[in-house]
Amino acid sequence: MRDVMPLVTAVDALADRLRALPQSTLRRGAAAGALALARELADRAQRLEEPDRRPRELPDAGMFAVGDQLAVAGHDLAEALRTAGTDADLADAIRRVTATARALP
């Protein structure tokens, strides 16, 4: 089993930042970028958990829910990566989360 705590920590930190952002910042693109990341993480998790099934798209629950959506998708991916996937998959997911966090104001 691989150590997925670095991913969980990065996802939780980013989700907390998103929850604290003002509406104006979320509206200017932070929410859209975070939703795109949450969808990507959810897609990756589903592909690991159910490789023979087409992934379902994470719905847009609104800008105020995107932090929670990111947290759920990130934790799902971490759990999937704990037993499946590769170390490279884990490293790539961490890179994507940290890149999104750096892009936030």
Q: What is the pLDDT of residues 58-82, one digit of tens each?
A: 999 999 999 999 999 999 999 999 9
Tokens of 104: 């936030």
Reported as a pLDDT band with limits 50, 70 and 90, residue 5 is very high
Amino acid at 97: V
Higher pLDDT, 105 or 64: 64
What angle, 0 to 180 degrees and rounded to 10, lies between the N-to-C axes of helices 66-83 and 5-20? 180
Q: Once rounded to an integer, what is the mean pLDDT over residues 38-59?
A: 97
Say if CB 48 and CB 85 are below 8 A apart: yes
Reported as a pLDDT band with limits 50, 70 and 90, residue 1 is confident
pTM, 2 dp: 0.95
Q: CA-based angle 104:98:44, to the nearest 5?
A: 115
Q: Which of 73, 56, 35 is nearest to 26 (CA)?
A: 35
Tokens of 97: 């989360």
Reported as a pLDDT band with limits 50, 70 and 90, residue 105 is confident
Amino acid at 94: I
Query: Cα–Cα distance between 37 and 89 in angstroms, integer?
Result: 15
